[in-house]
Structure 1
């Protein structure tokens, strides 16, 4: 057992002496200038180490550049997205203004707006107001009065001013549920009483012998009669002397942006 231990110690000492001797020889060779790193043997020994070092360094630099590039691209992409959204909103605003301008031009061409009319913008429509009413953006600073007729598209009566405040007014439409409006049947000149049903609809009860068909117009009595309603259906029962006529307003209030108030 002691002999095996002695052998290991002897081998360890020999290895240390050998490595020390090699180190001293190499050191003396460099010190005396006998060899240098420029010699082929040492160049070939060091080349793989240098190449590995350069490869690792380039990899690290490349990874850093890639991370940095991704951050820059992401930031630029966010900026482009915001600019694109701003441009889209600007185009929408432009289209809205263009459409309003075209609507006003069409309105002016359809009917000359004289001093007898005041142009108003609709602030709230029947879907946002109680029953069949709208709110417009003109008030008591204009020469309007309760009862003044309100027109759509320049020549279609749709209601009257019901309430006036400082900067806005409430308009009650002729189709307001329960509201009664006098009218004249076109080409017959018979007077009828239209009953508002809401939702842009009217109803009228007439004798069955009175010839009313789909598309018949009911006019608002005036010096220049204007279309108030158009029949869209007839409801009658056998042996009933009275028939019900369903009518619609000529315009869809939901599609309107502007109205005109006729000053009395």
Structure 2
């Protein structure tokens, strides 16, 4: 018996092509499986994986590999972030240490200027901070932060007081005193003459200032003077180091040799100086 079927009820054996939406959904499923496959396999590694263990395929290994790669990248990024944070903390700690060292140096200078922190019998020096170096206030002139009103109880500061640096090296003298600051002029000021003694033989001479801590001395050609000989001078009843021999220039045509004297330190980087006043030591 023949039955006529309506064309609408006839089903084709051919698959219908996937629509655009279906393709997108399948793509999303594949991506989720790739990204979360490692987690899924690890979840199944419990009782479930014990049951289906023999059926584990090569795709599980792929999932494990992908998970391990993602874990490596995540750990590397975390380590880089931690290293950067530690580097910043180290820089901040170094800056804080430098600031602390500077504060301690200023505190020590203040204690010395007030007469504290010194042993009995040690000479008492005023300690002044250098506010401006030579070149800003006139050649070979320093501005200091000590004046009549901020010396400390019982301390004195007078015109002509010697200005020194650590080790007893003489720089100059106080030439002007204000209420809270003072001016010091170096002995090396151009044209200024200072009586000196050179070397272990105490060769007497007159040093003429050339500026910047430098002097020029002329001595007889037969006098032995060598490089780095100590040059000293006397102010009042005290002896100070004025500089060292930086060079010797002789000429057979003249009976004299030129001695160049230089400071034993860079005077333009000084932060603190000492001032000696006789009345502060009685």
Give the Å deviation of 1:93. 4.2
| 1:210 alignment partner, SS class | coil
In structure 1, the partner of 2:268 is 254
Cα contact 1:152–1:251 (8 A) shared by 2: no
Tell me the SS of whatever aligns to 1:221.
Answer: strand
Give, in whole Å, the separation in 1 of the partners of 2:267 and 2:96. Answer: 23
SS at 1:225 equivalent: strand
Q: Under a length normalisation based on structure 2, what TM-score does the superposition of the two structures give? A: 0.58
Counterpart of 1:244? 258
Matched, 1:136 2:139: no
Q: Does the 8 A contact of 1:227 with 1:250 survive in 2?
A: no
5 Å-filtered alignment, 1:139-158, equals: 139-141=147-149, 142=151, 143-158=156-171
CA contact (8 A) 1:132 1:172 kept: yes
**Cα separation, 2, equivalents of 1:167 and 1:132:** 21
Deviation of residue 262 (structure 1)? 0.7
C-alpha spacing 1:96/1:174, structure 2 compared with 1 (3 Å): farther
Partner of 2:211: 198
Q: Distance in 2 between matches of 1:82 and 1:169?
A: 47
Helix, strand or coil: the match of 2:219?
strand
Structure 2 residues not aligned, in runs of 5+: 1-6, 32-76, 113-117
List per-residue Cα deviations over 1:125-168 (Å, max 9, x = no partner).
23555322222221222221221111111411111112222222
Tell me the equivalent position of 1:230: 244
Match of 1:98 in 2: 101
Tell me the equivalent position of 2:43: none
TM-score of the two chains, using structure 1 as the length reference: 0.61
Whichever of the two has the greater Rg, that structure is 1
Measure how far apart 1:174 and its partner are.
1.8
Q: How far apart, in 1, do the equivalents of 2:240 and 2:123 lie?
A: 20
Q: 1:118 to 1:58 in 2, by over 3 A?
A: farther
Q: Are the aligned partners of 2:171 and 2:213 in contact in 1 as well (CA < 8 Å)?
A: no
For the pair 1:88 / 2:91, whether they are aligned, the reply is yes
Instruction: Give the root-mean-square deviation of aligned CA atoms.
Output: 4.4
> Closer, same or farther in 2 for the Cα pair 1:218/1:48, shift >3 Å?
closer
In 1, Cα distance between equivalents of 2:275 and 2:137: 19
Give the conservation status (yes or no) of the 8 Å contact 1:154–1:260.
Answer: no
Aligned twin of 2:194: 181
Q: Tell me which of the two structures has the higher relative contact order, counting C-alpha pairs closer than 8 angstroms and 6 or more residues apart.
A: 1
Q: Secondary structure at the match of 2:227?
A: coil
Q: 1:4-44, CA deviations, whole angstroms, 9 ceiling, x for partnerless residues?
A: xxxxxxxxxxxxxxxxx96xx8xxxxxxxxxxxxxxx9xx9
Q: What pairs up with 1:19-34 in 2 under 5 angstroms?
A: none
1:91-130 aligned at under 5 Å gives the runs 91-98=94-101, 101=104, 116-126=124-134, 128-130=136-138
The 1:49/1:97 distance shift into structure 2, 3 A limit, reads closer
CA deviations on 1:67-94 (whole Å, 9 max, x unpaired) are xxxxxx9xxx8xx989966863552242
CA distance in 2, matches of 1:49, 1:190: 106
Quote the offset at 1:260 in angstroms: 0.7
Q: CA deviation at 1:239?
A: 2.9
Which structure has the highest helix share of the two?
1
